[in-house]
């Protein structure tokens, strides 16, 4: 989802990007069957996180560890600074 020919500013996390022709849930006939559930879970989890903490920011990139990208692309450990409301 970082092809600069498809996405302006591909390295910016912009949840309002529209249109957003990403391939996170695959494409075509094998498009992810669980995409609506995954989106609902993400919406609920992010809302709870943002309700609980504000001013979430990444403290340092030095301690970030990643998943095995052959299995799943994503971070395993991401230290953040938070401010409680
Ligand atoms: C963030 C969470 C998820 C991501 C990123 C994701 C990603 C994907 C991707 C990329 C594919 C296509 C694989 C391919 O083309 O070979 C896929 C297929 C599929 N996903 Fe997900 N998925 C997620 C959550 C879920 C959930 C929660 C369920 C079920 C409750 C689910 C069930 C399926 C099934 C059954 C397929 C196969 C669809 C088919 O082949 O017709 N996924 N998923």
Containing 45, the helix (H) or strand (E) segment is helix 35-52
Rg (CA), the chain: 15
Atom 17, ligand 1: residue with shortest CA distance: 32
pLDDT at residue number 56:
87
pLDDT at residue number 13:
85
43-68 pLDDT, tens per residue?
Answer: 999 999 989 988 888 888 888 999 98
CA–centroid distance, 60 to ligand 1, in Å, is 32
Domain boundaries defined on the chain: 1-52, 55-85
Taking 3-state DSSP, the helix, strand and coil percentages for the chain, each rounded to the nearest 5, stand at 25, 15, 60
Containing 51, the helix (H) or strand (E) segment is helix 35-52
CA–centroid distance, 13 to ligand 1, in Å, is 22
């Amino acid at each position: 989802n970082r092809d600069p020919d498809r996405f302006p500013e591909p390295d910016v996390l912009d949840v309002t990007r529209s249109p957003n022709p990403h391939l996170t849930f695959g494409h075509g006939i094998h498009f992810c069957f669980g995409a609506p559930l995954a989106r609902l879970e993400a919406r609920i989890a992010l809302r709870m996180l943002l309700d609980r903490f504000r001013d979430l920011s990444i403290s340092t990139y030095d301690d970030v560890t990643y998943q095995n990208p052959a299995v799943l692309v994503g971070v395993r450990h991401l230290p953040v600074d938070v401010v409680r409301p």
